[in-house]
């Protein structure tokens, strides 16, 4: 297995000696060491200017080419801005070392719940994977492949939100086929192991491995050494999930079968497709059978009468309903909170909401109106808190899933969306 120039196989004594009694890196104060791996050491640090805690990862490239690549990779990761991706703040050089400064996530990695006695409930596991796959859809659209996806590279913060880390070791899409083997064998795709061209489909295979493990507590391709693992990845199928967990719907087997297909052309061709199938299963959890056709039609008729959707055809309403979900909130319940980051957009189907900034009410929205537009378009932090002023029913739409809607539906949607914004700010 080829080693990348900027990923030493182990931390030698000179590496550790060079960081002994480390107190400061750049402008960042070192508080204590968080962890250590083959690629370097991670410290908890503090930015004295912005007054925030940061994670500082320090590595030592073994060549000038390796150092150049480190900066290219970190810069590409630094332009990612997504609620489920650990943000990269800064990078620099300290003596012979390179460092990257990232968002500090207080919590644990997915490894903690990849154990038989600590498995997540089905819904929580699926929701976690949906968030992760959604984030990878965004990264892939930005032209970045991770190449080293595994449970230890996915954090879960104290609020239960998934955060993908180590994008600083990722590669730009157009460069990935030249970089050789990189990753952890148990989570690598067959084409990675065989040093063939890779792309988003390779990350999708790795995501399938992680999904399998958080559902079962077992690796999809276990082995006593790298050679046995590599053989299983390229030649064997993992036991069907239905033989290991009886509380999961049959569709999960099909999702994993597609994500873990040996041939890349047989896998999901985008994380958007992967996320769509996860959302489909999530909708069905807790229901023993599909809703009756007349109930579905009643829902479409109701939504069609909401002002936002009156110029849609019923077929177009059905398309939007297919990528959205209907949620109910009780009076006084917060729907979104100021400062949160996600990519959901809301349309009020019934009831009334109030908008507050810094604790001060600034507006009231009622049936047919929408909110969450900046998070939906640009994944920016919520600029206000939205609270149910009465009992409410809302439609929540994910930006990732909405991208699957037919172009005429998207065009109609954004025209109405723009009309509301113009009216609101005029």
**Are both 107-284 and 299-425 of the same fold?**
no
C-alpha span between 164 and 82 (Å, rounded): 10
Q: What is the pLDDT of residue 369?
A: 84
CATH topology of domain 13-103: Phosphorylase Kinase; domain 1 (3.30.200)
Distance (Å, whole) CA 71 – CA 99: 9
Longest dimension (CA), the chain: 71
Assess whether 342 carries a catalytic annotation: no
Phi and psi, residue 28, nearest 5°: -90, 130
Closest CA to 324 of 260, 390, 254, 395: 395
What local confidence, expressed as pLDDT, does residue 3 receive? 39
Q: Domain boundaries in the chain?
A: 13-103, 107-284, 299-425
φ/ψ (deg, to 5) at 150: -165, 165
Tell me the C-alpha distance between 208 and 241, whole Å.
12
Q: What is the 3-state secondary structure of 276-300?
A: HHHHHHHHHCCCCCCCCHHHHHHHH
| pLDDT score at 324 | 83
The whole-angstrom separation of Cα 322 and Cα 107 is 34
Name residues of the chain where pLDDT drops below 50: 1-9, 170-181, 287-293
- What percent of the chain is predicted at pLDDT more than 70? 88
Interacting residues of 94 by C-beta distance below 8 A, sequence separation 6+: 25, 26, 58
What are the helix (H) ranges across 179-239?
190-193, 200-216, 226-235
b/e map of 112-146 (b: 16 or more CB within 10 Å)? ebbeeeebbebeebbbbbbbbbbbbbbbbeeebbb
- CA distances to 44, 53, 183, 207 from 49, rounded to whole Å, are 16, 11, 36, 37
DSSP 39-57: TEEEEEEEETTTTEEEEEE
CATH class of 299-425: mainly beta
Q: Tokens standing for 45?
A: 């640090």
The pLDDT of residue 147: 86
From the number of C-beta atoms within 10 Å of its C-beta (0-12, 13-18, 19+), residue 166 rates as buried
Q: Is 6 helix (H, G, I), strand (E, B) or coil?
A: coil
pLDDT of residue 12: 67
Number of Cβ atoms within 10 Å of the Cβ of 323: 19
Beta strand pairing status for 88-94 and 107-109? unpaired
What is the sign, positive or negative, of the torsion defined by CA atoms of 390, 391, 395, 399? positive
Q: Which class would CATH give 107-284?
A: mainly alpha
Q: Determine if residue 180 is left, alpha or beta; phi over 0 gives left, psi from -120 to 50 gives alpha, anything else beta.
A: left
Q: Among 13, 90, 137, 148, which one carries the catalytic annotation?
A: 148
pTM here?
0.72
């Amino acid at each position: 297995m080829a080693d990348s120039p900027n990923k030493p196989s182990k931390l030698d004594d000179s590496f550790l000696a060079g960081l002994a009694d480390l107190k400061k890196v750049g402008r960042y104060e070192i508080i204590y060491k968080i962890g250590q791996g083959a690629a370097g050491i991670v410290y908890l640090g503090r930015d004295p200017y912005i007054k925030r805690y940061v994670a500082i990862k320090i590595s030592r490239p073994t060549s000038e080419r390796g150092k150049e690549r480190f900066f290219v990779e970190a810069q590409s990761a630094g332009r990612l801005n997504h609620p489920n991706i650990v943000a990269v703040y800064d990078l620099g050089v300290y003596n012979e070392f390179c460092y990257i400064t990232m968002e500090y996530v207080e919590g644990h990695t997915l490894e903690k719940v990849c154990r038989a006695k600590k498995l997540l409930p089905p819904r929580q596991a699926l929701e976690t994977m949906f968030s992760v796959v959604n984030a990878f859809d965004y990264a892939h659209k930005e032209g970045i492949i991770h190449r080293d996806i595994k449970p230890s590279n996915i954090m879960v913060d104290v609020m239960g939100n998934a955060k993908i880390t180590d994008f600083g070791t990722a590669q730009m899409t157009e460069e990935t086929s030249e970089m050789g083997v990189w990753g952890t064998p148990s989570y690598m795709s067959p084409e990675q192991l065989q040093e063939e061209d890779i792309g988003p489909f390779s990350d999708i295979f790795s995501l399938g491995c992680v999904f399998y493990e958080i559902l079962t507590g077992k690796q999809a391709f276990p082995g006593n050494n790298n050679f046995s693992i590599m053989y299983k990845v390229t030649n064997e199928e993992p036991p069907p999930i239905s033989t290991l967990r009886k509380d999961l719907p049959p569709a999960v087997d099909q999702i994993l079968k597609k994500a873990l297909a040996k041939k890349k052309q047989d896998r999901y061709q985008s994380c958007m497709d992967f996320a769509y199938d996860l959302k489909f299963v999530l909708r069905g959890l807790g229901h023993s059978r599909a809703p009756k056709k007349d109930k579905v039609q009643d829902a479409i008729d109701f939504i069609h009468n909401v002002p936002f959707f009156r110029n849609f055809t019923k077929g177009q309403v059905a398309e939007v309903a297919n990528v959205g979900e209907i949620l109910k909130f009780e009076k006084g319940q917060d729907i979104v909170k100021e400062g949160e980051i996600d990519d959901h957009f809301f349309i009020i189907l019934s009831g009334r909401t109030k908008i507050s900034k810094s604790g001060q009410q600034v507006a009231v929205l009622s049936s047919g109106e929408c909110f969450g537009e900046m998070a939906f378009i640009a994944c920016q932090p919520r600029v206000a808190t939205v609270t149910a002023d009465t009992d409410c029913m809302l439609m929540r739409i994910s930006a990732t899933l909405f991208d699957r809607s037919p172009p005429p539906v998207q065009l109609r949607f954004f025209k109405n969306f723009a009309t509301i914004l113009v009216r609101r700010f005029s």
